[in-house]
């Protein structure tokens, strides 16, 4: 073994040890978060109770017996009070004064104040209910700065909230038209103010309704971005008053509690209290299932708390309407499937639960279905070691820059080997690249640590599939050059060994990506791998290049032992007489590639077919982890087909099958690029995919052998060359 090979081997072994250490540390962290909170939304379940004709107390008693962990109660607001038909009304001062007789609706002191008030953005609140007025007044005084409000305790109780132009809500744009349908003007129609949504404390009656059921209450705070000096203190005073400390704080609105827009920071009291009480904060997953809903101050607070956070999955309307889904699943089965995937695959540790919807405004009257649904969900979670209860938090985990550096050295070695195998770079140039890489890696890791994590995760996600592609093409090339006549049994063994070797190689690549992205911010998806699309597309482009170099374009089989025909092969391809069926094949491949790229994530409108959803759900129910359908139904069968065609000498039709099988290489690594997914689950998924791929591949080989024998029987032994 020469000096260079010894250096490469030593560095690569050290790299594997460093990568394994990072990976083991991540697994230990993930194993410490195994309980999930099911939080019921008070507002919607209260509406559901009205529809059923039962009291809120009866509703929450039933939910307690069904297995709900807690109930989320938001603060009252002017909007919610009016919506609940409380004896209160409000409007902008500019609208109030449009009524010529507006002074008849207020008391003398309020009239005198409003007469002199020139701020048309103020919100005027009035009520005849003295108890409600006193409760709201106390809540406002406790939360907001003096000067933000005025109270008038008269026959008509009045509250004035000081607004600004930034608070205004407008209707959607609409244009005035004349009788000839010509646009005349586009009016700005002010409909309301953000002041209708500010927090006004908690309704004691609602709290009593929940307490009587035995369920803990998760008091949700609402922030207002100005005049809020005391808002954090008021919230924690309420928590103490009602003796209902939340298991996790789920902030309402556009900003976290105590966040002030003018200084762009939050109240230090919030941080101190959360740390002293060890209360995690909620990250509400976005509707795209990527990252979380943005709230001002949330990212900074999570970082300050060393990611003492809980990922929350909100059961939003389109999920609520998955009852009796696809006319195939009866009851809440598909809703249960959705929750199961969120918990097991995306590190969700709290479900913000809402009732099943029949229409946009009504609910399925199947209250008895909630208990068996939650029981079945918990039973399905048991094999993963997950149970329902208080939400668990993964301990803070950082990434050692020294381990990352050592891991990156291994990627450098593999990258140089890939370049050597593809382009046969000379020894001197290889040493130059090696030295530059050895200097660049430590500098990048210690100078730009965040960028280096993304850089080396991207490198691992592309280098390992590239090595797999080289191995695959060389594997096929050796078969084509062999004079051996393969039996069907021999082909099955050859295909199974090749597929196992390639999936294992890509699995190591995926585990490397998972090890690199093992910091807490990746595990809770406050940071995430940004190169998913590029990691799917780049290996496909490299595959075409490597295929042409190694196997050529219409190259004679006797010339396959040479790798120097690239330019000639490329010229032959470019000067090819284009036939109509070539265009049809190219269009089909383009569609497949588009669907392949678009289906990776939730940012496009390309969705799975209903039959595919049903098939996926079946696999989820019978296996620990659902294998990826693109692997078991497309890529891995295509791999075995490629091996078969090579063994039987059908060289000219290898390319489309080989290209399709390559999709599986990137898919294996891509599984681990979703940093929120636990390592054990991603590993199990790929091992199950491999096992199923081998089984399906054997079936494909038997079918191809039957087709080939029929072909030979009719056309003799002529084969494509």
pLDDT of residue 188: 76
Spatial distance between the Cα atoms of 365 and 54, rounded to a whole number of angstroms: 12
The answer as to whether 559 is a domain residue is yes
The answer as to whether 720 is a domain residue is no
pLDDT of residue 599: 56
Number of domains in the chain: 3
Using 50 as the pLDDT threshold, list the residues of the chain that sit under it.
Answer: 718-721
pLDDT of residue 718: 46
Residues 174 and 243 in one domain: no
Paired tokens of 451: 């960028």
The set of residues, in sequence order, having a beta carbon less than 8 Å from that of 653 and lying 6+ positions away, is 645, 720
Give me the CATH number covering residue 219: 3.20.20
The answer as to whether 721 is a domain residue is no
Surface-to-core class of residue 437, CB atoms within 10 Å of its CB (0-12 exposed, 13-18 middle, 19+ buried): middle
Cβ atoms of 66 and 370 closer than 8 Å: yes
Cβ atoms of 198 and 222 closer than 8 Å: yes
3-state secondary structure of 676: coil
Question: Which residues share a beta bridge with 387?
Answer: 35
Helix (H) or strand (E) holding 350: strand 350-353
Using alpha carbons only, what angle is made at residue 332 by residues 330 and 333, rounded to the nearest 5 degrees?
Answer: 70
Residues 236 and 147 in one domain: no
pLDDT of residue 71: 96
pLDDT of residue 565: 57
Paired tokens of 13: 């072994």
- Residue pointed to by tokens 């079946």: 618
pLDDT of residue 185: 73
Paired tokens of 619: 């696999």
Residues 153 and 234 in one domain: no
- CA torsion sign for 217, 218, 224, 226 is positive
* Residue ending a domain, choose from 140, 168, 195: 195
The answer as to whether 668 is a domain residue is yes
Secondary structure string (H, E, C) spanning 476-537: HHHHHHCCCCCCHHHHHHHHHHHHHHHHHHHHHHHHHHHHHCCCHHHHCCCCCCCCHHHHHH
Residues 165 and 307 in one domain: no
The answer as to whether 201 is a domain residue is no
Residues 588 and 546 in one domain: yes
- Residue pointed to by tokens 């039987």: 648
The answer as to whether 28 is a domain residue is no
Spatial distance between the Cα atoms of 269 and 551, rounded to a whole number of angstroms: 67
- Residue pointed to by tokens 């603060």: 75
Residues 460 and 417 in one domain: yes
3-state secondary structure of 649: coil
pLDDT of residue 358: 92
* Residue ending a domain, choose from 362, 388, 414: 388
* Residue ending a domain, choose from 195, 222, 250: 195
Residues 696 and 646 in one domain: yes
Cβ atoms of 195 and 123 closer than 8 Å: yes
Question: Which residues share a beta bridge with 37?
Answer: 350
Residues 9 and 88 in one domain: no
Backbone angles phi, psi at 252, to 5 degrees: -100, 155
Residues 408 and 340 in one domain: no
The answer as to whether 652 is a domain residue is yes
Residues 15 and 85 in one domain: no
Range of the domain at 155: 80-195
User: pLDDT tens for residues 116-159?
Assistant: 988 999 999 999 999 999 999 999 999 999 999 999 999 899 99
Question: Which residues share a beta bridge with 312?
Answer: 284, 350
The answer as to whether 26 is a domain residue is no
Residues 218 and 240 in one domain: yes
Residues 334 and 421 in one domain: no
């Amino acid at each position: 073994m020469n000096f260079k090979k010894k250096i490469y081997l030593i560095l690569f072994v050290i790299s594997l040890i460093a990568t394994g250490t990072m990976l083991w540390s991540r697994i230990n962290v993930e194993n410490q978060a195994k309980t999930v909170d099911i939080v019921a939304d008070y507002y919607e379940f209260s509406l559901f109770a009205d529809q059923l004709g039962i009291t809120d107390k009866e509703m929450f008693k039933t939910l307690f017996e069904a297995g709900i962990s807690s109930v989320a109660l938001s603060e009252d607001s002017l909007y919610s009070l009016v919506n609940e038909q409380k004896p209160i009304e409000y409007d902008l001062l500019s609208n109030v004064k449009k009524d010529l007789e507006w002074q008849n609706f207020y008391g003398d002191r309020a009239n005198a104040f409003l007469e002199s008030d020139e701020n048309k953005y103020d919100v005027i609140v009035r009520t005849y209910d003295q108890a409600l007025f006193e409760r709201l007044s106390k809540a406002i005084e406790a939360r907001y700065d003096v000067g933000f409000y005025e109270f008038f305790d008269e026959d008509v109780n009045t509250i004035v909230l000081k607004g600004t132009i930034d608070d205004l809500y407008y209707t959607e744009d609409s244009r005035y038209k004349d009788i000839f349908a010509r646009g005349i003007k586009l009016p700005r129609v002010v409909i309301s103010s953000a002041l209708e949504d500010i927090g006004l404390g908690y309704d004691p009656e609602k709290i009593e309704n929940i307490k009587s059921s035995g369920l803990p209450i998760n008091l949700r705070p609402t922030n207002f971005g100005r005049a809020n000096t005391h808002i954090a203190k008021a919230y924690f005073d309420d928590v103490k008053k009602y003796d209902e400390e939340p298991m996790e704080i789920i902030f309402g609105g556009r900003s976290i509690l105590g966040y002030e827009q003018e200084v762009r920071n939050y109240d230090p009291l919030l941080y101190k209290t959360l740390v002293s009480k060890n209360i995690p904060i909620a990250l509400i997953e976005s509707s795209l299932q990527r990252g979380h809903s943005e709230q001002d101050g949330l990212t900074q607070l999570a970082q300050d708390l060393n990611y003492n956070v809980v990922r929350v999955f909100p059961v939003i309307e389109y999920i609520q309407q998955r009852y009796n889904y696809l006319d195939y699943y009866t009851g809440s089965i598909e809703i249960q499937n959705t929750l199961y995937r969120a918990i097991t695959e995306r590190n969700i540790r709290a479900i913000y639960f809402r009732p099943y919807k029949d229409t946009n405004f009504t609910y399925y009257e199947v209250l008895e279905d909630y208990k068996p649904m939650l029981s079945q969900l918990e039973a399905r979670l048991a094999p993963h070691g997950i149970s329902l209860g208080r939400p668990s938090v993964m301990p803070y985990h950082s990434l050692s820059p020294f381990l990352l550096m050592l891991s990156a050295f291994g990627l450098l070695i593999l990258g140089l080997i890939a370049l050597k195998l593809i382009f046969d770079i000379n020894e001197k140039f290889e040493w130059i690249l090696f030295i530059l890489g050895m200097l660049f890696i430590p500098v990048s890791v210690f100078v730009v640590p965040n960028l280096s994590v993304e850089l080396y995760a991207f490198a691992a996600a592309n280098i390992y599939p590239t090595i797999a592609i080289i191995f695959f093409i060389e594997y096929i090339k050796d078969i084509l050059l062999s004079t051996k006549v393969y039996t069907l049994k021999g082909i099955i063994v050859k295909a199974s060994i090749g597929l196992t070797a390639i999936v294992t190689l890509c699995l190591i690549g995926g585990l490397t990506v998972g090890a690199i992205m093992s910091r807490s911010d990746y595990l809770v998806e406050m940071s995430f791998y940004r190169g998913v699309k590029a990691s799917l597309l780049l290996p496909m482009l490299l595959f075409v290049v490597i295929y042409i170099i190694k196997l050529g374009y219409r190259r004679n089989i006797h010339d396959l032992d040479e790798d120097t025909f690239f330019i000639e092969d490329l010229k032959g391809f470019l000067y090819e007489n284009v036939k109509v069926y070539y265009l049809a094949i190219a269009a089909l491949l383009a569609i497949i590639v588009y669907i392949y790229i678009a289906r990776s994530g939730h940012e496009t409108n390309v969705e799975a077919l209903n039959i595919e959803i049903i098939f996926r759900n079946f696999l989820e129910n019978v296996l620990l982890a659902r294998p990826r359908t693109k692997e078991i139904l497309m890529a891995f069968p295509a791999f075995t087909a490629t091996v078969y065609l090579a063994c039987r000498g059908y060289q000219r039709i290898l390319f489309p099958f080989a290209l399709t099988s390559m999709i599986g290489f990137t898919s294996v690594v891509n599984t681990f690029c979703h940093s929120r997914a636990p390592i054990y689950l991603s590993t199990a998924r790929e091992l199950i995919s491999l096992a199923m791929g081998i089984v399906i591949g054997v079936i494909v080989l038997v079918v191809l052998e039957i087709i080939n024998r029929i072909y030979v029987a009719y056309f003799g032994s002529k084969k494509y060359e």
